[in-house]
Amino acid sequence: MFLLTRPLPKLNTSTQAFLDAGINVTGVATSDIHYHEHACEQVIERLLSRPVDAIIVTSVYAVPACIKSLKTTNKAPTVFAVGTTTAALLNEAFPSLRVLTPSQHTSEGILAMHQVNEANCKEVVIIKGEGGRNTLQYTLEKNGKTVTPFCVYKRKQLATPVYTKNWKLEDVSGIIATSENMAMQLIASHSTHILTLPWVTVSERIARTLKNYNVANVAVCERATDQALIAWVKDNWEY
């Protein structure tokens, strides 16, 4: 059995996707998502105040604010989505919208895209979560872009982790960690035995953090979607 970390809003859906694929997992949520409605309104005000060349949407939780904002514009700017699930949600709301997604679903993946580095991409809005990384903003500003970030939600740590079913530590044969924050919370709430288990995560950055916590066996799946992680587990672990 594997432990799968997901925020509370995605916990049951992601867990069920693994179970449907024949992989025995227990989902664990160490955090919930809380929205900042005022920040969502600020995104709309920003798009109405002056033209924007690009909007970068960092996660599925930033999508509602982006959708509300795009409904107020006559001409949509270029939209970048860090992941394919985020892109799919945007296209569900705007079927004709061209959403660009990097091959590597990280900030570094976005920064490597030539479209965001072109000379005519000057005004950039980033829709993100509170407490997230500042790599996008810092690097784009360093490259001469005018960047306005909006933190439209925050991850709030749960007082007690939520699990999809009862489990025993000795039954766990691997951990699927989809964010650094949740990985650290999982480590903090359990015995050091989980450091000896195999882990798979979704970026080299998170893998380095886990190794700094003495997790010896850490692999990386370049994409954070359920489908990509399911495929990775099937290819690399006994289940």
- pLDDT at position 74 over 80: no
- 35 DSSP β-pair partners: 153
- Give the list of residues 6+ apart from residue 238 with CB closer than 8 angstroms, or none: 173
Predicted confidence (pLDDT) per residue in 227-236, tens digit: 999 999 999 9
Predicted confidence (pLDDT) per residue in 176-220, tens digit: 999 888 899 888 888 788 899 999 999 898 999 999 999 989 999
Q: Domain boundaries in the chain? A: 2-33+168-236, 36-155
Over residues 32-41, the mean pLDDT reads 91
- pLDDT at position 101 over 90: yes
Over residues 17-43, the mean pLDDT reads 94
Output the CA torsion 107→231→239→3 (10° steps). 30
Q: What is the pLDDT of residue 89?
A: 94
Name the 3-class secondary structure at 142.
helix
Percent pLDDT > 90 in the chain is 67
Predicted confidence (pLDDT) per residue in 115-166, tens digit: 999 989 999 999 999 987 889 999 999 999 999 999 999 999 898 899 999 9
Q: What is the pLDDT of residue 49?
A: 86
60 phi and psi, to 5 degrees? -65, -25
Q: What's the gap between Cα 85 and its chain centre?
A: 10
| Architecture of domain 36-155 in this structure | 3-Layer(aba) Sandwich (3.40)
Q: What is the pLDDT of residue 230?
A: 97
150 phi and psi, to 5 degrees? -130, 120
| Architecture of domain 2-33+168-236 in this structure | 3-Layer(aba) Sandwich (3.40)
What gap in Å lies between CA 52 and CA 222, rounded to an integer?
A: 30
Two tokens at 15?
A: 């867990």
Fold: same for 2-33+168-236 and 36-155: yes
Over residues 58-80, the mean pLDDT reads 89
Q: What is the pLDDT of residue 3?
A: 96
Q: What is the pLDDT of residue 121?
A: 92
Two tokens at 128?
A: 């993100």
- pLDDT band (50, 70, 90) for residue 8: very high
